[in-house]
Chains A and B, each alone.
Chain A
């Protein structure tokens, strides 16, 4: 199932403040990014428990925005969507 799942992109941060700052910047630019818990499997030791979840179709624009605005972030990790809940709420 995972092999057929769409990809999500998690932007990881050192802290909430950096994540909220980038979310605000993306919001101003009309780029959708939802705050989500960082999956433990990609969190590592240094990143924060919150991340910005970005759909694949927006990730390149988001990357460009990060570079353009010199936004603080820790990493961007690609991850297949693992769960398909009934209302498609989380993925």
Chain B
């Protein structure tokens, strides 16, 4: 199979990830529960992962790295934990449902006001709107680092300037960029960076987290067992315990930690450069094909995603043919990005998303180009 659905999850992981998890499954006790050797094995592994992730993302404190089961849970924690009744929030047309649905819920249940920065038909954000949308009760800007549909990057530094000028909390969805390029949340002025472990970071599913800027006051989304402060009626206020009720996925975190070691050994810049080469090779190969419409802005730096349609074929049909006839895995449909599809005009047709990873090869890209070419003459 040629696997080009890496924006959904990376299928191929560094072998160290599976090795670490196999080992962990045999020796790890419950992290933060007890002090016998197997418990401490898990606790040390989880702590080491926090340190690595803090360094990877420019988070000033390892104890401000909080583990979750995915980016959606991290975004829910950030959004429900920081935004209150009557607040105003600015978000964008680029967002995934992991941002949209928590915000819509706040609108419906907590009288939160919500405004969107619009995107044009190439998926470009109209950045001037951020400043114009700020109100006296604006609390936060929630935005993705890259569209999971077009691969367009958002200019976080520019957005951060607006947030800083008005004292707003900047929550960034890094689901599509974490592990595929250097991200320093402190330098970029990000208050909360949410990430998933199983996409560009090449770790296991069921891992993810959020990195918090020091000094943020956040309410926990869930409360319960913490292994500490057992006689307190309330969730311990110290991070990361505040946001980590229940047993952690230490086996998965061990795999994620091994994946971070791999990312560091290879180098994020090298990964970014290779994925960019593959993405651009594919784009150059399909952009002039008759009846092919490619979506997004390819002028500058971007995520390794190319979404397209072939004529007026339903995107689901195209992806099915790619899978069944050519053994190429892509992702059709709506991609949990309803507003982005509306902006692109692809709400009905959807789009076929090709997304690339460190483990793809130029031969795979050339084969995919050839197949798309064949489909254009069907």
Contact = CB atoms under 8 A, between A and B. Distances in A.
Interface in A20-35: 20-21, 24, 35
Task: Using C-beta atoms within 8 Å of the partner chain, give the interface range for chain A.
Answer: 10 to 19
B46 to A, nearest CB: 8
Contacts of A77: none
Contacts of B62: 17, 21
Chain A: interface secondary structure?
A: mixed
Contacts, number: 68
Interface string A1-44: 00000000000011111101100100000000001110000000
Contacts of B232: 45-46
B228 A15 contact: yes
A78 interface: no
B224 to A, nearest CB: 14
B47 A49 contact: no
Contacts of A66: none
A73 B33 CA distance: 18
A35 B41 CA distance: 12
Interface in B159-208: none
Contact of A17 (B35, B47, B229, B230): B47
B40 A17 contact: no
B63 A49 contact: no
A15 B241 contact: yes
Contacts of A13: 228
8 contacts: A17-B47, A17-B62, A21-B62, A45-B229, A46-B236, A49-B34, A50-B43, A72-B238
Interface of A: 13-18, 20-21, 24, 35-37, 45-50, 72
Q: Which 9 residue pairs spanning A and B have beta carbons closest together?
A: A48-B228, A14-B238, A20-B47, A15-B241, A16-B32, A45-B231, A17-B63, A37-B35, A15-B228
